């Protein structure tokens, strides 16, 4: 009998449109649905402009859909008011983007600790958690460095640690290796898969990298506003 994977995220019939300059609307997502199991690495691929980032932003509660629902561990996120949704997002989700978005005036340790402090953790606890994660992503020796002093690969590793600091149920990554050279991209990919395998971390990745998508547990192509299973 096939083992049922516990769903972390269930995306149901998402619709999203944007107004155009001509007074019309551009429909990006048309009844888009997706389910992601616990500990899975899921890749979303597709041509530029098809709405991959829009979908990721909705799954991450950074944007609201026009219709449909997104459930995280059974909780319908978009029934929440904005302030409650923001707290839920900070507590339950991690984000990694193509550009690291680290705060330049803070050290690597401080950048990782900040989301934990926003969630209410005492400074000492947040920094202990940050140090542990910097060790996991193998940049603990750079904990006191500021972003400008880090290489591109180190910056993205710090960004991954920051995404993990609140022990999120899911990490959403938008072209996480798109700004890295081939060697650093491969190292980042290995890191993401080791986190999934060793810590049971769930990832949804938007990527143009065919090699990255090929390693995923499931790959979905976004086409004409809907997701089509590729594997």
pLDDT in tens, 122-163: 999 999 999 999 988 888 999 999 999 998 889 988 998 998
Place of tokens 């098809």: 50
- Domain membership flag for residue 2: no
Cα separation, 118 vs 136, in Å, equals: 22
Helix axes 182-199, 152-164, angle to 10 degrees: 20
Secondary structure of residue 90 in the 3-state scheme? helix
pLDDT of the residue at 49: 76
Among candidate residues 163, 158, 150, 159, the one with its CA nearest the CA of residue 199: 163
**Count of domains observed in the chain:** 1
Query: Which of the four pLDDT bands, split at 50, 70 and 90, describes residue 172?
Result: very high
CATH code of the domain containing 222: 3.40.50.300
pLDDT band for 231, please (50, 70, 90 cuts).
Answer: low
Q: Residue 28 falls within a domain, yes or no?
A: yes
- Is the pLDDT at 101 greater than 90, yes or no? no
Q: Is 200 among the domain residues?
A: yes
Question: Residue 212 pLDDT > 90, yes or no?
Answer: no
Cα–Cα separations (whole angstroms), residue 208 to 5, 174, 211, 219, 229 = 27, 10, 9, 12, 16
The mean-pLDDT minimum among 93-107, 136-150, 175-189, 207-221 falls in 175-189
Whether 1 maps to a domain, the answer reads no
* Other CB atoms within 10 A of residue 227 CB: 20
Q: pLDDT at position 129, please?
A: 92
Residue 67 pLDDT exceeds 90: yes
Q: Containing domain of residue 20, as a range?
A: 7-229
Q: Cα–Cα distances in Å, from 224 out to 51, 146, 209?
A: 9, 42, 20
The predicted model gives 67-84 an average pLDDT of 91
Give the model confidence (pLDDT) of 2-13 as tens digits. 445 678 899 999
């Amino acid at each position: 009998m096939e083992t049922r994977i516990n769903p972390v995220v269930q995306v149901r019939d998402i619709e999203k449109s944007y107004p155009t300059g001509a007074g019309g609307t551009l429909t990006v997502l048309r009844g888009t649905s997706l389910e992601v199991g616990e500990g899975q690495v899921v890749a979303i691929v597709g041509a530029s402009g098809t709405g991959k980032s829009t979908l990721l932003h909705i799954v991450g509660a950074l944007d609201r859909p026009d219709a449909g629902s997104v459930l995280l561990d059974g909780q319908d996120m978009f029934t929440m008011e904005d302030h409650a949704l923001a707290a839920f997002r900070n507590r339950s989700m991690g984000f990694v983007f193509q550009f690291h978005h680290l705060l330049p005036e803070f050290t690597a340790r401080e950048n990782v600790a900040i989301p934990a402090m926003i969630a209410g953790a005492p400074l000492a606890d947040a920094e202990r958690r940050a140090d542990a994660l910097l060790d996991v992503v193998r940049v603990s020796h750079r904990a006191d460095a500021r972003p400008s002093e880090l290489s591109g690969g180190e910056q993205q590793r710090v960004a991954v640690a920051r995404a993990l600091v609140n022990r999120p149920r899911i990490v959403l990554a938008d072209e996480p290796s798109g700004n890295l050279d081939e060697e650093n991209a491969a190292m980042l990919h290995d890191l993401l898969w080791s986190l999934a395998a060793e810590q049971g971390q769930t990832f949804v990745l938007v990527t143009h990298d065919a090699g990255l998508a090929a390693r995923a547990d499931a790959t979905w192509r976004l086409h004409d506003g809907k997701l089509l299973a590729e594997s």
